[in-house]
Structure 1
């Protein structure tokens, strides 16, 4: 088994969903893991929780900066605001657009500002960004979400080109993932049997942490339901929004 003992990891947006799957995998491998989010994680086990609300930027900046004052070997950014539901651009409010930018883009910016110095000291540290296929495909009825995720991807791509002492890798699901956020948007009785689960990210998260992303710097990895992965630049992810032509 891979051991991450002695390493300190931060997962922003790690109380549920893909972030929680990554946090659990790192903790199971022996890392000291702090998850950041608005709500306390259920059944946290070895995880430690820090309340961070990315919609309150001054608060978030202060809390994350305090966490970044100590040694940090890896940071995962998994926070996301999807929006109220799929809707055409003309039907989306400016308030929803601002909320998507506040979490999906500005939240990532604040996180990078807080942790990059400590990650450089780790030599090399690792940033794992949880991305989405919409960053490659856009998506009808998801314009704000797609635009903000594309902005987040490009921000991380730019950081990857700037940094020599921090490795940056993005991961994204090949299909829909059964998470609390998705369940809030589905009808009662919906069949999730074809959906991925957050635990599908355990293998890739553990390998990236163990190697500090060696050989994957600047890459975007598409993770499938079996826990395998491939580069999005070798095989683009399939759109979950577009209608077949």
Structure 2
């Protein structure tokens, strides 16, 4: 299926690895010109490998949780692209894993909320003037199934993803009159370097005993939500968890 994305321009945050890098590759394959943003310098390596119409992706390295830095780099990347049609907010951290609430440091709580929620808010706020000028603009937020279900020892992460999902919904309602669609993807466990580190599985998820998706599979969901093919889809969260959350705990 032609996703009708050729020639469009996208800004992807958290693009140095994992879902963000996979999304950048998937969008580039659809002919989308890219601006990539991450706190890690490796974002420049990802950008250099993505060439559309002879032009490598633009990139910038910054902490999106810092208001001044966020504003400057978002403006710079939009200027490099010449305009903006799509914004994909992948930047995120997991924070403490397996840490009870009473042992969770305030600094850890604040950092997870700052990166996962405030960073998305700052990036979208700065990008909005450009998005309002675009034809069929779309925003996709990478939340998590943790916006709906909880795991012990991950209170900051779950709280941040629930807040992020509600932010996406609020933005979708507010921006609908301007034609800006805002949707979210909410995957369960994704095989990324971050999740491998969190779960102590450096060799990967073979034999994990639960379903795991790839970053490329999540990227496909994001590409669909970016595409004009999904024009009627707005304020929606795609929960890709293999149907696990639909199951009942009733011992039938």
TM range (shorter): 0.7 to 0.9
Which secondary structure does the structure 2 equivalent of 1:100 belong to? helix
Distance 1:152 1:108, change over 3 A: same
Once structures 1 and 2 are overlaid, which stretch shifts more, 60-69 or 147-156? 60-69
**Superposed displacement of residue 43, structure 1:** 4.8
Question: Quick check: 110-119 or 197-206, which moved more?
Answer: 197-206
- Corresponding residue for residue 195 of structure 2: 182
Choose from 115, 140, 153 the match for 1:128.
140
SS in 1 for 2:87: strand
* 2:121 equivalent in structure 1: 109
User: What's the counterpart of residue 216 of structure 1?
Assistant: 233
Counterpart Cα distance in 2 of 1:206 and 1:125 = 13
Partner of 1:79: 91
Question: Deviations along 1:219-244, whole A, 9 cap, x unmatched?
Answer: 0012367xxxxxxxxx7x629xxx99
Instruction: Give CA-to-partner distance per residue, 1:154-177, whole Å, 9 cap, x none.
Output: 11111111112200110121x311
Given the alignment of the two structures, is residue 67 of structure 1 paired with residue 81 of structure 2, yes or no? Answer: no
State the TM-score, normalizing by the size of structure 1: 0.85
What is the CA-CA distance between 1:185 and the residue it aligns to?
Answer: 2.1
Equivalent position of 2:216 in the other structure: 199
Q: Aligned residue pairs: how many?
A: 231
Tell me which residue corresponds to 1:95: 107
1:212 deviates by 6.5
Match of 1:16 in 2: 17
Deviation at 1:62, TM superposition (A): 1.5
Give the Cα separation in 1 of the matches to 2:64 and 2:86: 19
1:204 and 1:185 map into 2 onto residues whose CA distance is: 24
Q: Does the 8 Å CA contact 2:184/2:236 hold for their aligned counterparts?
A: yes
Secondary structure of the corresponding residue to residue 147 of structure 1:
helix
158-167 vs 185-194, greater mean Cα deviation:
185-194
- Give ranges in structure 1 of 5+ residues lacking alignment: 226-234
Could you report, residue by residue, the CA deviation over 1:99-135 in whole angstroms, capped at 9, with x for unpaired residues?
A: 0111011101101111111111113210000011111
Name the TM-score, length of structure 2 as normaliser.
0.83
Q: What is the alpha-carbon root mean square deviation over aligned residues?
A: 2.4
Q: Is the 8 A contact 2:145 2:241 kept in 1?
A: no
Unmatched 5+ stretches in structure 2: 51-56
SS at match of 1:107: helix
The answer on whether the counterparts of 2:191 and 2:213 sit within 8 Å (CA) in structure 1 is yes
CA distance in structure 2 between the partners assigned to 1:25 and 1:96 by the alignment: 32
Give the number of the structure whose residues are more often helix, by fraction: 2
Q: Which residue of 2 aligns with 1:138?
A: 150
**Once the two structures are superposed, what CA deviation does each residue of 1:55-75 show, in whole Å capped at 9, x if it has no partner?**
433212221133345410100
User: Separation in 2 of the partners of 1:210 and 1:19?
Assistant: 17
Match of 1:170 among 184, 191, 209: 184
